[in-house]
Amino acid sequence: MLEIRNLHVSANNKPILRGITLTLKKGEVHSIMGPNGSGKSTLAQVLAGRESYEVTAGEIMYDGKNLLDMAPEDRAREGVFMAFQYPVEIRGVSNMYFLRAALNSIRKYRGEDDVDAMDFLSLVRNKMKLLQMDDALINRAVNEGFSGGEKKRNEIFQLAVLEPRLAILDETDSGLDIDALKIVAEGVNALRSPDRTFLVITHYQRLLNHIVPDFVHVLAEGRIVLSGDKSLAFELEEKGYSWLEKEPVG
Amino acid sequence: MIQAVRKEKDQYLANFAEFERQGTGPVPDWLQQLRKASILRVAEYGFPTTRDEDWKYTNLAPLSRTAFGLAGPTRLYDQLSDHWLLGLPGPRLVFVNGFLSSDLSRRDGLPDSVQVQSLSEALTHAPDLVGRHVGKYADPDEHAFTALNTAFMKEGSLVVVPPGTVLETPIHLIYLSTGSEHPFAVHPRNLLLIGANSEVRIVEGYAGQAGVAYFCNPVTELVAGDASNVDHYTIQAEGDKGFHIGTLRTCQERSSSLRLASFDVGGSLVRHNLTVTLDGEGANALLHGLYLGASDQLIDNHTRIEHVKAHCDSRELYKGILTDSSRAVFHGRIVVSKGAQKTDSKQTNNNLLLSNDCLVNTKPQLEIYADDVKCTHGATIGRLEEESLFYLRSRGIDKQAAANLLTYAFASEIVSQVRIGDLRNQLDRFLFAWLGHVPE
């Protein structure tokens, strides 16, 4: 469902990704691990459509369509969702209004009617329960005054409401204490399905104890240097990342 | 430039001669003297120029260039009869081109003790009351446009709320400017006297017909008595060829609470001179403002908060949204007198620029003569944040809708301060329309 071929990406003329090739099939959970500055978040942002990066070579096919040709909103409407590493605070826009606007624009793209107010409310309630979120958060402005953990939980809550086909989690575990991490991971696990693909980006293996991936890839200096199954994550936890830089593979 | 100034003076002096000739009915002596003294002030000093520090960014040449004559009564207000300001429920005085319209005004729903009169009515029925107050707060010697207004003082509104009155319904004072062959000037004068322990909400609205050249120069004096609770809203929705120079002068007595909000949603060249005086211990003032600028509008807000007595609080938040080649000026001055210890004052001005050609000049100014006070100010000028736009778009909301949503959110902080539901909804609707959006 997602094919990344020889992707090269620069920011301010500085190369960050130097030839990524990666295939994700429907229903699979892939994890990308790697040291700081290896380009993990860049990959997530490029997939979501961030315009400040320049794709200098390569292509990304999503369900047979050229993802790089699509505006960020169209990617979202086609079922791509990125949970932000640093969710943005939007003053003056309530979570409820924002989510409904988002859901309706996705539905409109699919040729469906706007969501019924009561249906929306019950959908929101269910998903909030899944993430054990405080009811009050839904009427507050998007992420405004949320704690770090509440923001991350809010990202997964949005994921749950919008039901994307490709979910990219960009360091969703960072800044979470162990209890919050478990809740978020349980939320994600509940959303795993044969129709939904996950790309889980993390610096630490600890998240992968709870969201067990099918595949693990290691990114270093803008390249995938190692791929394997979940056991690779344990190996990395033990050895750290420094050995990769000494003996580059791939 | 000099020629223009001379012409503008001559024009108003000629108008004044005409105005005196037209004078109907007896005019109290004090008013005659006040008018004469004021026109002399106009003749002596003329209009300010950009060399004047307070008018540095607001060039009045377009105003001076136009020969505004006296307005005559008219019934041609069809094009304004469905204006949203007239859709607000509740008692109201409505003036068309400076003349009271009895067709559009309605005074039912007010307790007998509360006076809502046109100024001409008040000058007939209670000239002494008017004489005791008018010009005592807005000094014609202080500002050229207050002098001009005072020279032509004839019509406007008098609101007197006796002590201990809680008014459930807001009072609306609405000034419409409409079809006339020649450019004309109107000088509404409002006197709002709120007694001790009273609670009242007053809306001053100004609207004009598109394409009509006119100059609206209102002056309002508002006195908030001891422990009163007053909301005052100014809605400036003049037509696209309308000039508006408005003066609002408030005086607060002990423990009074004043909430002011100003909305600029129209006009070609607009200037507000707002002076708030906290003249009784424990008084507090809350000032909000929202100005929306498009095409080549110029909107200038000059505010001055005078902390005269101790233990007073003031909070001021003005926000501006500019697009096209519009310009805005915000100048916020806070003056803390020697005796005003324990003053707590905070001023903020935030501006959102939506185009490359718009411009804003913002200038906070603190003058503090007391030593135990807390005063802060801050100003920002910025664009929509890329981060926020991307966040909304990444959830499926298209670019324009995301920009509108963020702009709306920026402005809604001010709109939400309005404590009259109908007015808040109308402003909300206007804001959506201004953003080219359709409300849900």
| DSSP string covering B396-412 | T--HHHHHHHHHHHHHH
CA distance B252 to A177: 52
pLDDT(B6) > 90: no
Q: Testing the interface with A: which of B390, B392, B395, B404 to mutate, by most A Cβ within 10 A?
A: B395
Residue A191 to chain B, least CA–CA distance (Å)? 18
**Given CB atoms, is B384 within the 8 Å cutoff of chain A?**
no
pLDDT digits (tens, 9 = 90+) for A39-95: 999 999 999 999 999 999 999 999 999 999 999 999 999 999 999 999 999 998 999
> Do B412 and A92 count as a contact with CB atoms less than 8 A apart?
yes
Among A1, A175, A4, A152, CA closest to A80: A1
Average pLDDT over residues B401-416: 94
CA dihedral A155, A160, A161, A162 (to 10 degrees): 80
Among A35, A19, A32, CA closest to A250: A19
pLDDT digits (tens, 9 = 90+) for A186-234: 999 999 999 999 999 998 888 999 999 999 999 999 999 999 998 888 8
Q: Kindly provide the ipTM of the predicted complex, given to two decimals.
A: 0.95
For residue B289, the one-letter residue type is G
The widest CA-to-CA distance across chain A, in whole angstroms, is 58
CA distance A182 to A209: 10
Backbone angles phi, psi at A17, to 5 degrees: -100, 130
> Do A90 and B391 count as a contact with CB atoms less than 8 A apart?
yes
Binned at pLDDT 50, 70 and 90, residue B418 comes out as very high
Residue B402 to chain A, least CA–CA distance (Å)? 10
pLDDT digits (tens, 9 = 90+) for B156-165: 999 999 999 9
Within 8 A of B406 by CB-CB distance, chain A residues are 90, 93
pLDDT of residue A63: 95
pLDDT of residue B440: 36
Q: Could you count the other beta carbons within 10 Å of the beta carbon of residue B322?
A: 24
- Whole-number percent of chain A with pLDDT over 70: 97
Q: How many residues does chain B have?
A: 440
Considering only residues B350 and B440, tell me which one the structure prediction assigns the higher pLDDT: B350
Within 8 A of B410 by CB-CB distance, chain A residues are 91-92
Binned at pLDDT 50, 70 and 90, residue B1 comes out as very low
Within 8 A of A98 by CB-CB distance, chain B residues are 392, 395, 405
pLDDT of residue A107: 96
B 386-415 residues with CB below 8 A of A? 386-388, 390-399, 401-402, 405-406, 408-410, 412-413
Binned at pLDDT 50, 70 and 90, residue B353 comes out as very high
pLDDT of residue B2: 47
Find the angle CA(A228)-CA(A230)-CA(A233) to the nearest 5 degrees. Answer: 90
CA distance A224 to A43: 11
Angle at which helices B2-22 and B29-45 cross, to 10°: 170
